[in-house]
DNA sequence: ACAAACCTGTCATCAAGCTGTCATAATGAT
DNA sequence: ATCATTATGACAGCTTGATGACAGGTTTGT
């Protein structure tokens, strides 16, 4: 199997750095790693898109001036992509002009920092954005009606009792817990668990749903994953 | 569907400004109003809390140094309040120290701007935050006289009770809910549900109407879909 | 290094649910 | 009363999802 989305045992946050200046890029990557983030690097817009095909970062830092395209264009592309469009983006550039800031923010960036940027401030802002996008889940804990998942510990408790799941089942349940009561189509599930450019039968999703249901059944909560014929599945109490 | 950045014309955002310097406060309020926001003002932490008891702003701008408490303390209080804790907060202060920025962001502010701040930048940042927080509230819901459809969850509730529909019935009901009280011709219905270039008898529509009515009948609302002889159907109370 | 245990992605098969059409009965309009 | 239009019940065909089995592949413990 080709697992494109690696989920390290300790679930760290993935940060993608898009910056053509190697010195700055490496420095940022270093600082971020030291803070416990997993970093991915890209030196151009195309490299960035390439990375995005393989990883779904939790946040992206983008330099305004890239060799092959403007950072703003990259943001546009990201915001148009169904799978990752929600990712927080911090724009980091040398342009201090007010008009540029406004433009960057209006065009889809969530934050705008001018170089030379303080690493501490960048870090703080990254954390602030992650705090939100992860749903105040800096603790890495997800919960829904008695199902408690500690993503970091890779552990699931149902009504206090521990539940063991395989990696795929775990990711699947996590996806459900992140979108409770929302309908998830097969396509969506595939994209988020196997990555976009993988060739996996959609029917495979069924099988994993089945397996997850079996696991939940031991705790009487197998009915919580509902099938919506022709569309997908959803987690409901 | 549509974009995330959908801006209903009538929709005004409530912004609460917490700032003790009257000149700055009024200037901000003025600028914000001109941009179409509804503003609420507070000159101290207590005034702010007072306001919060009456209004639930969509975003709060807080000055670090308030006469009666630190802006950070105010943030703490807000974040502890179950009802409004999710509101985006922008901290606006004279303190340019890096350590302060970090502290503000770590303690719960979503953004941090140093005075003198550019109104344009503030505006852009406010919009960027609203863009996100509103995205979550845009949970696509349709309602008509007790029939509530959550398209995202693919769920229909009638007077609170759940109703299960097949995919076609669901789409049909959705079409009606999107056009309440409007007359929908067969042709129109066909186009919207089966697509323009499909070969389906228009009598088929009748059958699906029938099925939808049957489903609604369980909740006594089958009469709501009226037949308009020779033309089509419409949803009416 | 080796075997046992476990995971995973696919299949083939089965059952259940949906759909589009008809034929026929109702209903409404003139 | 007659013609046009719609409501209904029945149905056969088709899709879609559930399930059990299985062959590789990987991990774990010894």
Per-residue pLDDT at A13: 79
Classify burial at A59, counting beta carbons within 10 Å of its beta carbon; exposed 0-12, middle 13-18, buried 19 or more.
buried
Ramachandran assignment for B82, one of left (phi > 0), alpha (psi -120 to 50 degrees), beta (any other) = alpha
Closest among B168, B199, B165, B204 to B186, alpha carbons compared = B204
Indicate if the alpha-carbon torsion angle B78, A86, A36, A11 is positive or negative.
positive
A150 and A205, same domain (yes or no): yes
Q: How far is B100 from chain A (nearest CA, A)?
A: 9
Q: Which bases on strand D have an atom closer than 7 Å to a protein beta carbon?
A: 5-10, 16-21, 25-26
Measured distance CA(A123)–CA(A162) in Å, rounded: 35
Per-residue pLDDT at A12: 63
* A&B contacts, CB < 8 Å: 70
Per-residue pLDDT at A4: 37
Q: How far is A183 from chain B (nearest CA, A)?
A: 5
Q: CB–CB of B128 and A110 under 8 A?
A: yes
Residue B9's pLDDT band (cuts 50, 70, 90) = very low
Residue B10's pLDDT band (cuts 50, 70, 90) = very low
How many angstroms separate the CA of B184 from the C1' of C28? 20
Asked if A140 and A148 touch (Cβ cutoff 8 Å), the reply is no
**A8 falls within a domain:** no
**B6 falls within a domain:** no
B105 and B174, same domain (yes or no): no
Closest among B168, B157, B182 to B212, alpha carbons compared = B168
Q: Name the pairing type of β-strands A38-42 and B89-93.
A: unpaired
Q: What are phi and psi of A36, to 5 degrees?
A: 95, 10
**B80 falls within a domain:** yes
Note down the domain range covering A155.
141-235
Per-residue pLDDT at A81: 87
A118 and A149, same domain (yes or no): no
Q: Which stretches of chain A drop beneath a pLDDT of 70?
A: 1-12, 134-140, 222
A102 and A79, same domain (yes or no): yes
B165 and B125, same domain (yes or no): no
Question: Of A102, A133, A164, which residue is a domain's last?
Answer: A133
Indicate if the alpha-carbon torsion angle A25, A30, A35, A40 is positive or negative.
positive
Measured distance CA(A74)–CA(A86) in Å, rounded: 14
pLDDT in tens, B155-178: 999 988 999 999 999 999 999 999
* Closest A-chain CA to B5: A108
């Amino acid at each position: 199997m080709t697992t494109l989305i690696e989920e390290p045992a300790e679930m760290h946050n993935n940060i993608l750095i898009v910056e053509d200046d190697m010195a700055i890029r490496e420095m940022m990557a270093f600082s971020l790693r030291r803070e416990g983030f997993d970093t991915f690097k890209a030196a151009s817009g195309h490299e960035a898109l390439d990375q995005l095909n393989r990883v779904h970062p939790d946040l992206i830092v983008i330099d305004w001036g890239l060799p092959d395209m403007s950072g703003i264009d990259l943001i546009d592309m990201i915001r148009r992509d169904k799978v990752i469009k929600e990712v927080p983006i911090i724009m980091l550039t040398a342009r201090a002009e007010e008009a540029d800031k406004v433009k960057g923010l209006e065009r889809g960036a969530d934050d705008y920092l001018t170089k030379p940027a303080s690493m501490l401030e960048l870090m703080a802002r990254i954390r602030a954005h992650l705090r939100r996008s992860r749903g105040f889940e800096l603790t890495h804990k997800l919960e829904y009606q008695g199902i408690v998942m500690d993503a970091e510990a890779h552990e699931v408790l149902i009504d206090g009792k521990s539940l063991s799941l395989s990696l795929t089942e775990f990711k699947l349940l996590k996806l459900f817990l992140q979108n409770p009561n929302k309908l998830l189509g097969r396509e969506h599930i595939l994209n988020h668990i196997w990555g976009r450019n993988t060739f996996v039968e959609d029917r495979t999703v069924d099988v994993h749903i089945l397996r997850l249901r079996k696991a939940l059944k031991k705790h009487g909560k197998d009915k919580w994953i509902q099938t919506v014929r022709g569309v997908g599945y959803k987690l409901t109490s």
